[in-house]
Amino acid sequence: MLDRFAGVENSPLAFRTQVRVYRRAMAFEILHSCSLPTAERPVRLAEFDELLSSATSAERGGPTLLTFHFDDRDGLEAQARDLTARESDCCSFFEFSVVKGAGEVRVEVRVPEPHAGILDSLQSRAGQPA
């Protein structure tokens, strides 16, 4: 579902330049291979934004692994499991793990090397430095 370069070829040029205009949302666009219907993609993106906005931190465990940490609260684990399961259904290259520990929930996201840039976009959308 997510690709940081999708749609770049259709981006407008900045006024009187040959430089493409990039928007924040473009960093987290949708892959052409995603099986999620186009009309549902903005809703899914909003669901990720909602979940990731409550992350207390994010850490990279290498170029293809990103772990988000959340304070445990009612419903968070179920929300994360539901969202990541639905995302895995439409974008099989994602591998998610949701782990509940003492007072926290961790969401681990793994992608194959060709999709590693997507993790930068996820981390940025969470408001965490990449």
CATH value of 8-125 in 1.10.8, 3.10.28, 1.20.120, 1.10.540 = 3.10.28
User: Residue-wise over 95-105: b if at least 16 C-beta within 10 A, else e?
Assistant: eeebeeeeeeb
* Confidence (pLDDT) at 17: 53
| Pick from 28-32, 36-40, 62-66, 112-116: least confident | 28-32
If one compares 36 and 32, the residue with the highest pLDDT of the two is 36
pLDDT score at 20: 46
| Cα dihedral sign, 82-62-9-16 | positive
- The mean pLDDT of 112-130, rounded to a whole number, is 85
Per-residue confidence at 130, pLDDT binned at 50, 70, 90?
low
Q: Would you kindly state where each structural domain of the chain is located, as residue ranges?
A: 8-125
pLDDT at 9: 45
Whole-structure pTM value = 0.72
Interval 3-22 mean pLDDT: 47
In this predicted structure, the answer to whether residue 125 has a pLDDT above a threshold of 80 is yes
